[in-house]
Structure 1
Amino acid sequence: MIIACMRKSRSIFLSKSQFTRGLQCHKSLWLLKNRPELRAEPDASLQARFDAGTGVGLLAQQLFPGGVALEYGSGISQNISTTQKLIASGSQTIYEATFRHDNILAMVDILHKGTDGWDLYEVKSSTETKDIFINDTAIQYYVLTGAGINISRVFLVHLNSRYTRIGELDLQELFTIDDVTDLTRHRQADIPQRLAGMRQALQGGEPGIDIGPYCTDPYECDFKPYCWKHIPECSIFDIANLRNNRKFSLYYGGTLHMGDIPPDFLLSDNMRIQVEAELTGRDFINTTAIREFLATVIEPVGFLDFETFMEPVPSFDYQRPYQQIPFQYSLHLLANGRLKHYEFLGEPGLDPRRPFMEKLLSEVRPCRTILVYNQAFEVARLQEMATTFPEFAEDIEALIARIVDLMVPFRHKDYYVKAMCGSHSIKYVLPALVADLSYDSLAIADGEMARLAYVRLAKTNGMAEK
């Protein structure tokens, strides 16, 4: 009986991504295998990140030109067979080499023949080597060595955040290659036990695992809406700036609603304001602080907002991986009770920064105060452009000196109402202050949607859609 159970356990098939999912949570793995319909579909932003990662992987193949690529649609068995034939025929580089061992599937981004064995390269669109990536290389090493492949070294290929493009893309500078051989080998001893635990969990019913920090760490689980369906809106998990471990300390102690928080549980003054507003419906308005803030706002006033995009592989000169590139702004100028609107939208596919900056500097000239929401973001972008275009640096510094952050009174909870649900994001503040105004009805409802739309236009040359 025991032998039969072991055989059944080992017959459970897992892919690399399923293994790493199981490391995060056995319940998530069980749901993926048994209740996949409960899985949340990736939103447009997440899908765009997946697509970008695929693009980075294809680009990294050019570090080892002349290799043979296996096709995704050929089927697992076919790709395993093709991989073995390529190795036997003396191929030096294989992209997406496919192996199976212990009923675990591994597809290697780049497998390259070195002088004393095969080198395994895992490609990530990140700008650094993270500990969680070693789980990926570890399970691949386990599968390949188990399948009889002599792995000499293991490498993590990621983007170089310090690379600045000038002219043609320099792949040797764009990518950083880190040797993670020792880290990968050190994790081998744990893998059989980890696999046994996952397979045991998969043989039974839905695991009775409660929610926890692992629901979002290291990745947000796509089954979170299912597992968190018992959590009400504006629960203890919505208390702004309360650390995650303290939220779960309350939850595991039986506290879910803000009204049940023990009196001796330490909260900051701002947290207490949020909790009291939630329980009583009372509005908190610090009129003295608001008057002091308004005194810093002097007409003519410009109301300024940026939108930016970023991409893993820089398209333009003087651009780094994932650098925020401003492509659009909206500016309302208030003077003598009259409001005038200015705007800029860059030409998709062309570097928008210089025309953006030239037009903005011209149009903010009359402003004595420039109101933004979340000053740190706009100021950082402006400072970057002052570095990129030193001829604008003096004017940009003068612009920055006039910026006032409208978010400050809300972040400090000088004005707070229950509808803000702990957030000082404009998406919560606006409808809380003006009930009939909301971002929800807009075709482009937030900065991320604007970024994705602009990137799509750049790829399709879609000025007609602009």
Structure 2
Amino acid sequence: MAKLLTKSKFKMALECPTKLWYYDRPDEYANILDDDSFLKALAEGGAQVEALARCYFPDGISIESSSTTEALNKTQLLIQRDSITVFEASFQYQNYFLRADILQKRPGHIKIIEVKAKSISKKDESKMGTKKWQPYIADIAFQKWVLQQLYPSFTISSYLMLVDKDAICPTDGLNQKFLVQKDSNSKAIVTLTSPVTEEDLSIKILREVNVDHHIELFWQEKNDEEQTVKDQFHNFSKIYFSEQKFPPKAKSECGDCQFNTKESDKFLSGFKECWRESLGYKETDFNDTTILDLWDCRNKPKYFQQGLIKLKDINETEFKINESDKSGISRTERQWLQIEKVKTQDNSVWIDKESLKAEMDSWRYPLHFIDFETAMLPIPFNKGSHPYQGIAFQFSHHTLNENGQVAHVGQYLNTEPGVDPSIEFVRYLKKELENDDGTIFRYSNHENTYLNSILERLEQMIEPPNDKEDLCFFIRSITKSPSDSKVKWEGPRCMVDILELVKRFYYDPLTNGSNSIKQVFPAILNRSDFLQEKYSQPIYGAVNGIQSHNFINQCWIVKENNRIKDPYHLLPPINKDISDEDAQLLFDSEDLKEGGAATIAYAKLQFTNMSHSEREELRNALLRYCELDTLAMVMIVEAWQDMLQT
């Protein structure tokens, strides 16, 4: 049977047409994004959003089918009516196939609606022509093109139905009405736990946006070779239908390719195959660090055009370095440091001891380390809430005293279905931190962002809690204002970002340019004799050892192949059905990437049927991981303290 070109394959081919070859051969090539549609739909809220969208069309008929042929036949029967609304209508023109989320047919007119769990506000509409929106426009553009070929005498209008960030949810408990389950094809299906009422729909939190104009512009966009999208489409379609492989081209996007995997006995790496064919790489070439690994590199296409792909081939003359205007190194100085260490094969740690010591001398004990787990749900919990309002549902809290004593002193986790715990979360955090004026640490801007989001919500509440002023004062005291805020502040006890300290004062080649705590922590553990000595004994969670809420007699130093095993790998994955690393790869949104496995776990606890024992197991996994996150921050600081003494 001839292969069909679908809207998802069309979008994939726009990223890189060679991907189609690998995608159609799942038995040969490993694909990082395989078999994850259920988890992605669950965590992003796509399944619930689509179910809510259908509620806006009570006369809609859903096509249920077990095969493409059956879906096409059922669609053809229904579409003969003059006026009809169909969910999951299927159409095929030649070997182009589409399944439309919502299709309305009226005499001489067809309206297609693609439903996306993507947020939009009034100010975003002007940005819909930007690159960020291209995958969404491409999706509906493909559908419109197929329908135009099949129904040339009809006018066809195209809409994206998006989550309206400006809307206010009219009722309590709306998101709990959509129970998500996995069908026999591992797809997410939604069952209503109770009817969606007129009041639930009295304010629409999903909004239709006409994109016909954006589609016209989209087809005319040009690539580096000056080919329009329409020309590219016809070109790769021709090659695809002739069952040939599109000639590969190495480019900056290869870094995010889902076929950029390690080869194994079972599977080939599409990425390696592309680079062998396009660059003439031998197996040894793949051991060299490339421009794809250079931290925060914003002009990768330029290096690819110049053929400067391996870091060792880049010279200082081709690299513009701007000095830092504060202590430590600048972004470009750090990039050059990474390149220089590759060029000289220097695997040693770089640390700006003087600047780091000056920073550390300003800290007040006891030191507090906090980490949040959060979620952003398209359909809100409560009446009066906005879609995608940030929800903070978990924190972990470690302390480090001046005498070196470490303790896991507190934690919070609320995953009760239908409850937004964000205000209570801040209350508990305040209790944890208000007993002294010790310096507070976070890793990345995430905690600052969410506290500011909760602050804004508190200030806008029509019926605020009695302790609103206390909570607002507390949040302002430990945060700084967002960059786009009209009112500027920096609290007297503003959290210190360890990520910023890493960027300015510390570089370890073992991280391969990444500053993620998931890379920095295992690397520093392998470097620090102090940490290895201290944590090689089962003192963590032991009587008279280090206080812990979730571990008993835990030993964190486990050797494997002469290296210390990543402590995160000592724990079973949070979700049994996906590794924690792969969980991050599922998402396009940075907010969801940040949460990764915890975001998926929270969505499961909120929107799926689980037994009490399954819930407890998942809650315990969340507690262990969040505790390890703050312990990792403690260990990084302990290692630095030791390094400054040697």
TM-score range, shorter chain: 0.7 to 0.9
1:333 and 1:367 in contact (8 A); partners too: no
Contact 1:326 1:352 in 2 (8 A): yes
Q: 1:280 to 1:452 in 2, by over 3 A?
A: same
User: Does the CA-based 8 Å contact 1:238-1:422 persist in structure 2?
Assistant: yes
How far 1:115 moved relative to its partner?
A: 6.8
Sort the Cα spacing of 1:222 and 1:334 in 2 relative to 1 into closer, same or farther, 3 A.
Answer: closer
Q: Structure 1 residues 204, 264: closer, same or farther in 2, change over 3 A?
A: farther
Instruction: Please point out which of 346, 350, 356 is paired with 1:280.
Output: 346
Determine the C-alpha separation between the residues in 1 that align with 2:94 and 2:243.
20
Q: Is 1:223 paired with 2:255?
A: no
Query: Corresponding residue for 1:165?
Result: 169
Comparing 160-169 and 135-144, the one that deviates more: 160-169
The answer to whether the aligner puts 1:293 opposite 2:336 as a matched pair is no
Q: Work out whether residues 290 and 309 of structure 2, in 8 Å CA contact, stay in contact via their aligned partners in 1.
A: yes
- Partner residue of 1:311 out of 374, 377, 384: 377
2: CA distance, partners of 1:180 / 1:373:
41
Q: CA deviation at 1:295?
A: 1.9
Alpha-carbon distance, 1:96 to partner: 1.1
The separation in 2 between residues aligned to 1:153 and 1:92, in whole angstroms, is 15
Shift of 1:186: 6.0
Secondary structure of 1:293's match?
A: helix
Match of 1:4 in 2: none
Give the 3 Å change call, closer, same or farther, for CA 313–342 of structure 1 in structure 2: same
- Paired residues in the alignment total 450
8 Å contact from structure 2 (residues 159, 212) kept in 1: yes
Distance 1:296 1:156, change over 3 A: same
Q: How does 1:217-296 map to 2 (within 5 A)?
A: 220-225=256-261, 226-229=269-272, 231-232=286-287, 234-243=289-298, 246-267=299-320, 268-278=332-342, 279-296=345-362
Structure 2 matches for 1:178-193, cutoff 5 A? Answer: 178-184=209-215, 193=231
Matched, 1:441 2:570: yes
- Cα deviation for residue 36 of structure 1 reads 5.7
Structure-2 separation of matches of 1:375 and 1:199: 43
* Runs of 5+ unmatched residues, structure 1: 1-7
Is residue 2:201 matched to residue 1:201?
A: no
Ranges in structure 2 where 5+ consecutive residues have no aligned partner:
121-127, 175-199, 221-227, 262-268, 276-285, 321-331, 460-467, 480-490, 527-563, 575-579, 582-594, 620-646
Say if 2:371 and 2:443, in contact at 8 Å, map to a contact too: no
Match for 2:398 among 318, 323, 332? 332
Name the structure 1 match of 2:109. 117
The answer to whether the aligner puts 1:59 opposite 2:52 as a matched pair is yes
Quote how far apart the aligned CAs of 1:342 are: 0.7
Farther off after superposition, 371-380 or 305-314: 371-380
Q: 1:417 to 1:143 in 2, by over 3 A?
A: closer
1:312–1:215: structure 2 CA closer, same or farther, 3 Å change rule?
farther
Equivalent position amino acid for 2:55 in 1: Q
Q: Secondary structure at the match of 1:208?
A: coil
Q: Counterpart in 1 of 2:85?
A: 93
Normalised to the residue count of structure 2, the TM-score between the two structures is: 0.64
Q: Which residue of 2 aligns with 1:147?
A: 150
User: Is the CA contact 2:236–2:246 (under 8 Å) kept in the aligned structure 1?
Assistant: no
Question: Displacement, 1:40?
Answer: 0.8
- SS of 1:26's equivalent in the other structure is coil
Secondary structure at the residue paired with 2:9?
Answer: helix
- Segment drifting more, 300-309 vs 183-192: 183-192
Is structure 2 residue 411 aligned with structure 1 residue 348? no
Cα distance in 1, alignment partners of residues 78 and 205 from structure 2: 29
Identity %, equivalent residues: 24
TM-aligned CA distance change 1:305 to 1:192, over 3 Å:
closer
**For each residue in 1:400-453, what CA deviation from the matched residue of structure 2 results, as whole angstroms up to 9, or x when unmatched?**
3312222222111x1222212222221121122112453232334574212222
Contact 1:277 1:417 in 2 (8 A): no
C-alpha displacement of 1:181: 2.4
1:397 paired with 2:476, answer: yes
Distance apart, 1:107 and its partner CA: 1.3
Partners of 1:276 and 1:282 within 8 A in 2: no
Q: The residue matched to 1:20 in structure 2 has which SS?
A: helix
1:95 shift after superposition? 0.6
**Counterpart residue number, 2:281:** none
- Asked whether the equivalents of residues 348 and 454 of structure 1 are also in contact (C-alpha less than 8 Å), the reply is no
Specify whether residues 43 and 35 from structure 1 end up closer, same or farther in structure 2 by C-alpha distance, changes over 3 A only.
closer
Question: Deviation digits for residues 37-64 of structure 1, max 9, x if unmatched?
Answer: 3141427977533343233222211121
After superposition, give the CA deviation of every residue in 1:197-234 in whole Å (9 maximum; x if it has no partner). 12332326433312223446xxx543233343364464
Give distance in 1, aligned partners of 2:440 and 2:35.
Answer: 30
Cα drift, residue 192 of structure 1: 7.0
Change (3 A) 1:389 1:193: closer
Label 1:191 to 1:424 Cα distance change in 2 as closer, same or farther (>3 A).
closer
Q: Is the 8 A contact 2:82 2:107 kept in 1?
A: no
> How has the CA–CA distance of structure 1 residues 342 and 43 changed in structure 2, closer, same or farther, with 3 Å as cutoff?
farther
SS at match of 2:599: helix
* SS of 2:372 mapped into structure 1: strand
Give the letter for the 1:199 counterpart.
S
Q: 1:426/1:46 Cα in 2 relative to 1: closer, same or farther (>3 Å)?
A: farther
RMSD: 2.9
Say whether the 8 Å CA contact 2:396–2:410 is kept in structure 1: yes
Q: 2:523 & 2:260 partners in 1: Cα distance? A: 27
Match of 1:362 in 2: 431
Is 1:318–1:388's contact at 8 Å kept on the other side of the alignment?
no
Pairing partner for 1:29 from 20, 28, 46 = 20
Could you tell me how far apart the structure 2 residues matched to 1:365 and 1:186 are?
Answer: 55
The CA deviation at 1:91 is 4.9
Partner secondary structure for residue 596 of structure 2? helix
The answer for the alignment partner of 1:13 in structure 2 is 4
- After superposition, the Cα gap between the structure-2 partners of 1:295 and 1:186, relative to the gap in structure 1 and judged at 3 Å, is closer
CA 24–257 in structure 1, closer or farther in 2 if over 3 Å, else same: closer
Which residue identity lines up with residue 396 of structure 1 in the other structure? Answer: I
Pick closer, same or farther for the CA change 1:74–1:154 going to 2, 3 Å.
same
Distance (whole Å) between structure 2 residues aligned to residue 124 and residue 386 of structure 1: 28
Residue 176 of structure 1 corresponds to: 207
**Matching residue of 1:464:** 616
Answer yes or no: is the 8 Å Cα contact 2:364–2:439 preserved in 1. no
Per the alignment, residue 136 of structure 1 pairs with: 139
What is the alpha-carbon distance in structure 1 between the residues aligned to residue 140 and residue 35 of structure 2?
Answer: 28
Deviation, 1:93, is 0.8
The answer to whether the Cα contact below 8 Å between 1:301 and 1:368 also exists between their aligned partners in 2 is no
Deviation at 1:174, TM superposition (A): 1.1
SS of match in other structure, 1:162: coil
Indicate the larger mover: 188-197 or 302-311. Answer: 188-197
Residue 380 (structure 1) shift:
1.5
Other-structure match for 1:409: 501
